[in-house]
């Protein structure tokens, strides 16, 4: 196995692990020797992922985790410690999209939902992940933001605000933890073919192919990202050989940010 992608015996925590990036990440890390700690609010989907790994003799533990609740987030970190005795890598991946809504029509309820899930999950995730990693003397945290966290995003302002906060939290925590040998970065994907897009509000009004073709026009590559393309970058960012990169927000966007 390439040493850059060798995660043998590394304990990896992933939120939002029942589908999308999280589910694929669990498989890819497990195939590279990692021990998994998985959380999701979707208990049935989470159980399916955990059982699938266990049936393949891959170490995996799972627990229901509502990332809008600090107690649930702490509980997932506690599960890592009680099950494996440590936490090497944490990926704060869980998130939720929003319906297209102009700023002038954005409700307090919509903003609260976005901040509670997309921002609190990262802040409180790091709050409880960092002390355990500090005890160990090392660790890696990867937060999932969005291209909406790097620029203006018409009609998804609440989502954009929450994802901009993820970028700010990532950079702040990276500076705070630099001397503690804890690397903290974020990825900012463009629209990707995960359930967040294929099962979104848009597909309720038009065929999925029409929706993806429309969204693709915003990318110089004229296509959406494949989940594997995003996950491959995430694996590289968490690599045991990638030891001097921290505080970065990496756009995985088919060239959108080049405009």
Report the chain's terminal Cα–Cα distance, integer Å. 38
pLDDT band at 158 (very low <50, low <70, confident <90, very high): very high
| Residue 203 CB-density burial (10 A; 0-12 exposed, 13-18 middle, 19+ buried) | middle
Quick: pLDDT tens for 40-52.
Answer: 999 999 999 999 9
Q: What is the mean pLDDT of residues 175-192?
A: 95
DSSP 66-104: -TTSHHHHHHHHHHHHHHHS---EEEE--------B-GG
Instruction: For domain 3-189+227-250, say whether CATH 3.40.50.720 is its number.
Output: yes
The strand order across the sheet containing 182-189 reads 60-64, 35-40, 11-15, 89-92, 139-144, 182-189, 249-252
Distance between CA 195 and CA 256 in Å, rounded? 21
Does 202 score more than 60 pLDDT? no
3-class DSSP string for 120-177:
HHHHHHHHHHHHHHHHHCCEEEEEECCHHHCCCCCCEHHHHHHHHHHHHHHHHHHHHH
Quick: pLDDT tens for 128-145.
Answer: 999 999 999 999 999 999
Q: What is the DSSP letter of 116?
A: I
Distance between CA 112 and CA 189 in Å, rounded? 23
The two structure tokens encoding residue 199:
């099962």
Catalytic residue among 7, 84, 159, 244: 159
User: Hey, where are the domains in the chain?
Assistant: 3-189+227-250, 192-224
Q: What is the DSSP letter of 65?
A: -
pLDDT band at 126 (very low <50, low <70, confident <90, very high): very high
Contact residues for 101 (Cβ-Cβ < 8 A; gap 6+) = 107, 110, 155, 156, 157, 158
pLDDT of residue 216: 79
* Residue at token pair 């996950």: 231
Does 243 score more than 90 pLDDT? yes
Contact residues for 69 (Cβ-Cβ < 8 A; gap 6+) = none
Full-model pTM: 0.94
Q: What is the DSSP letter of 203?
A: G
Distance between CA 181 and CA 144 in Å, rounded? 21
The two structure tokens encoding residue 6:
């060798």
* Mean predicted lDDT score pLDDT of the chain: 93
* Residue at token pair 């594997």: 228
Quick: pLDDT tens for 9-20.
Answer: 999 999 999 999
pLDDT of residue 190: 87
Examine the residue annotation and report whether 159 is marked as an active-site residue of this protein.
yes
Distance between CA 27 and CA 190 in Å, rounded? 22
């Amino acid at each position: 196995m390439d040493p850059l992608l060798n995660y043998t015996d590394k304990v990896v925590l992933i939120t939002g692990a029942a589908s999308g990036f999280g589910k694929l990440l669990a498989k890819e890390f497990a195939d590279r020797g990692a021990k998994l700690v998985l959380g999701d609010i979707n208990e049935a989907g989470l159980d399916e992922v955990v059982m699938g790994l266990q049936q393949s003799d891959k170490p995996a533990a799972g627990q229901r985790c509502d990332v809008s609740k600090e107690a649930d987030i702490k509980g997932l970190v506690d599960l890592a410690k009680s099950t494996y005795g440590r936490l090497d890598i944490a990926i704060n991946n869980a998130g939720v999209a929003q319906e297209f809504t102009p700023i002038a029509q954005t409700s307090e309820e919509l903003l609260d939902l976005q901040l509670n899930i997309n921002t609190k999950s990262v802040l409180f995730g790091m709050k409880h992940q960092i002390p355990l990693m500090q005890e160990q003397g090392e660790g890696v945290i990867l937060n999932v933001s969005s291209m909406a966290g790097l620029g203006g995003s018409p009609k998804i302002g609440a989502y954009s605000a929450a994802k901009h906060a993820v970028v700010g939290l990532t950079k702040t925590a990276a500076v705070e933890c630099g001397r503690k040998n804890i690397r903290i970065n974020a990825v900012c994907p463009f629209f990707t073919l995960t359930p967040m897009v294929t099962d979104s509000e848009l597909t309720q009004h038009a065929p999925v192919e029409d929706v993806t073709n429309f969204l693709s026009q915003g990318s110089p590559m004229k296509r959406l990202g494949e989940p594997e393309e995003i996950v491959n970058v995430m694996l590289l960012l968490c690599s045991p050989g990638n030891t001097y990169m921290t505080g970065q927000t990496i756009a995985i966007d088919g060239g959108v940010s080049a405009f």
